[in-house]
Structure 1
Amino acid sequence: MTDKPFSYRTARFISTLFVPPSFTIIIFTWLALRLEYELWQRILVIGVALTFGFAFQILMFFHFKNKGMIADMDASVKEERTVPFFVAILIYAMGLLVLLLTKMDPVIISFWFCYISNTLIVIWINKYWKISAHALGASGPFGVLVYMAGTGSLLFLVVIVLIGWARIKLKMHTFAQVAAGTIAGFALTYFQIIFIVKMLKEQGWF
């Protein structure tokens, strides 16, 4: 059996490295350091991201893979995605509850809520079409970066392009599915954050 081409191995590395939960740790660490001033708040936000946004999510997919409920860690079979995605929402909801009870910054809360709402939308779309969760999982963080840093965050587009290329190269998605995931992830996240932060401000959250 011949080895896979270098381009394929590179695509597999990028796809594995940049699974959606990876961005959860990176972005929420940045948000914690940027928005929270007390040490305990920063530790809590990072801890919530590490626990509910990364570790539990990865372990959940391993569990479903070992039980034979999904074909692979990519959940490449469209029909197998619904149950893992609903479980992911329950895990995210637990994290959201912690952030709400401890009254973390509205941007942090609103962005975390986006993980729940965006996953629900993906479940609905997935009934008809296999949108790229990888692309959506990368462009969502881009939405909060643009909200926080404006044009200074445009370099992040390079990461999104690399992920999109990798998913197409691996034949996991078509260009249209990657493009749709990218646009949906950014737009849904960016506008939800604007709306939720405004709502929390009106409610006297800060």
Structure 2
Amino acid sequence: MSVVDTEPTTRRQRAARLLTEVFSPAHLAIVLPPVVGARADGLSGFAYGCLAALFTGVIPYAFLLRAVRSGRVGDRHVRQRSQRFLPLGFGVLSVITGLALLVLLEDAPCDLLALVMAMLTGLLVTVAITAVWQISIHTGVAAGTVVILTLTLGWLTVFAWPLVVATGWARVVLRDHTIAQVTAGAGVGALVAGLVFVTVR
């Protein structure tokens, strides 16, 4: 039985597992839209952000949990690359649906629309890369989150970058990714999020 199949037994592994769980892509995809929405347009923006979070995080995560229970996916962090296409594909459809709904409602903040577009683009890029290589989605989403927060909340948010590094460290410690995979994930996530968000907003 491999390390990834057993409960973490050392303090280092327990810390890595905690970081992996707390800063999972699903959690960040749920928390970020309401923050960006509220920053853009107060309470109304927060409400739109919660609606966006339903499609960017809640529904895709619920689908993933159902896929795990049914045995179609081995675990919540989808360690096997071949199993990633099902939850990623569903995630793409869910985010597209949410984006279309926000556009139809017309009053959603531009920053929120830009965020969801950045999330969608990030998902599509991840699917393309996953076809040939197991890039780290954890560090990609974490890095993209920090970039978006920096662009919306201000430069003090750059001090959140150590959390991206810590997330990458955790993925390597748990042997779910190599250093190259977590580094590439962070780079791609930051680049895609920044370029799309700035262009669309």
Distance 1:157 1:71, change over 3 A: same
Identity of aligned residues (%): 22
The equivalent of 2:41 in structure 1 is 36
Equivalence for 1:101: 104
Q: Spell out the pairing of 1:1-206 with structure 2 (5 A cutoff).
A: 4-37=9-42, 39-49=43-53, 51-103=54-106, 104-197=108-201
SS across alignment from 2:129? helix
Read off the aligned partner of 1:4 and give its amino acid letter: T
In the TM superposition, structure 1's runs of 4+ consecutive aligned residues that sit over 4 Å from their partners are none
Deviations 1:65-85 (A, max 9, x none): 112111111110011111210
Q: Aligned-pair distance for 1:28?
A: 1.8
Give CA-to-partner distance per residue, 1:44-92, whole Å, 9 cap, x none. 322331x222221221111111121111111100111112100011111
Deviation at 1:189, TM superposition (A): 0.7
Paired amino acid for 1:59: A
**5+ residue gaps, structure 1:** 198-206
How far apart in 2 are the matches of 1:57 and 1:19? 13
Name the amino acid aligned to 2:76: M
Between 101-110 and 5-14, the greater mean CA deviation after superposition? 101-110
Q: What does the per-residue CA deviation read over 1:129-157, in whole Å, with 9 as the maximum and x for residues that have no partner?
A: 10000001111111212222443111110
Distance apart, 1:8 and its partner CA: 0.5
Q: How many residues align?
A: 195
Q: 1:183 to 1:61 in 2, by over 3 A?
A: same
Please identify, of 164-173 and 40-49, the stretch whose mean Cα deviation from structure 2 is larger.
Answer: 40-49
Distance 1:67 1:196, change over 3 A: same
In 2: Cα distance, 1:189 partner to 1:48 partner: 16
TM-score by length of 1: 0.88
- Deviation, structure 1 residue 98: 2.0
Q: Distance in 2 between matches of 1:127 and 1:53?
A: 22
Q: Structure 2, unaligned stretches of length 5 or more?
A: 1-5
**What SS is found at the alignment partner of 1:70?**
coil
Alignment TM-score, normalising by the size of structure 2: 0.90
Structure 1 letter corresponding to 2:26? P
- Work out the CA distance in 1 between the residues paired with 2:39 and 2:114: 15
